[in-house]
């Protein structure tokens, strides 16, 4: 009986740790999947990877899918608070790095309202989706959340529909 209760407690704690990723205690926002190297203390890398019927899409250096938010303006994020918990921004410490398949001319960073640097691609701030629990998943594709739709991007920085 005691083992079952202990196992349930451990499983609940592990679930919380995996889902929360990294957080910034000063702003209360959560950033990136737990497996991501893109935290405020490292330079992020943007790469491409085949996502089946969606074709080649932008990912980070671990293969985690990246998304754009249609409510954003060029180089300006409109996703903060609860939005940034569900859709953590891809952050970089300094200039982001180009991986295989990405175009260096389209890659940049912009300051978020909390002062962190968010990676942009073709002017689109980039995000993860908390519902993608492992590299290669595209569970956020086409979702309408926080006032607009979310899409993966191709190597030219365009939204991919499908």
pLDDT digits (tens, 9 = 90+) for 67-76: 999 999 999 9
The domain spans of the chain are 2-152
pLDDT per position as a tens digit, 79-123: 999 999 999 999 999 899 999 999 999 999 999 999 999 999 999
Instruction: Assign 9 to helix, strand or coil.
Output: helix
The residues facing 124 across adjacent strands are 121
Average pLDDT over residues 47-53: 96
For Cα atoms 33, 36, 39, give the angle at the middle one, nearest 5 degrees. 95
The whole model's pTM is what? 0.79
pLDDT interval class at 162 (50, 70, 90):
confident
The rounded mean pLDDT for the chain is 82
User: Alpha-carbon distance 95 to 85, whole Å?
Assistant: 23
Q: Count, in order, helices (H) and strands (E) of the chain.
A: 2, 11
């Amino acid at each position: 009986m005691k083992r079952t209760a202990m196992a349930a407690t451990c499983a609940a704690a592990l679930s919380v740790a995996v889902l929360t990723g990294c957080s910034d205690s000063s702003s209360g926002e959560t950033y990136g999947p737990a497996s991501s190297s893109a935290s405020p203390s490292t330079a992020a890398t943007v790469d491409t990877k085949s996502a089946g019927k969606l074709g080649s899409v932008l990912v980070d250096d671990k293969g985690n899918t990246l998304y754009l938010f249609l409510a954003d303006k060029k180089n300006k994020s409109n996703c903060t608070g609860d939005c940034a918990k569900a859709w953590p921004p891809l952050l970089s410490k300094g200039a982001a790095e180009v991986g295989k398949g990405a175009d260096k001319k389209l890659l940049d960073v912009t300051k978020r309202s909390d002062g962190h640097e968010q990676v942009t691609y073709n002017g689109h701030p980039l995000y993860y989706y908390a519902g993608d629990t492992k590299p290669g998943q595209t569970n956020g594709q086409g979702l309408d959340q926080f006032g607009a739709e979310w899409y993966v991007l191709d190597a030219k920085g365009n939204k991919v529909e499908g």
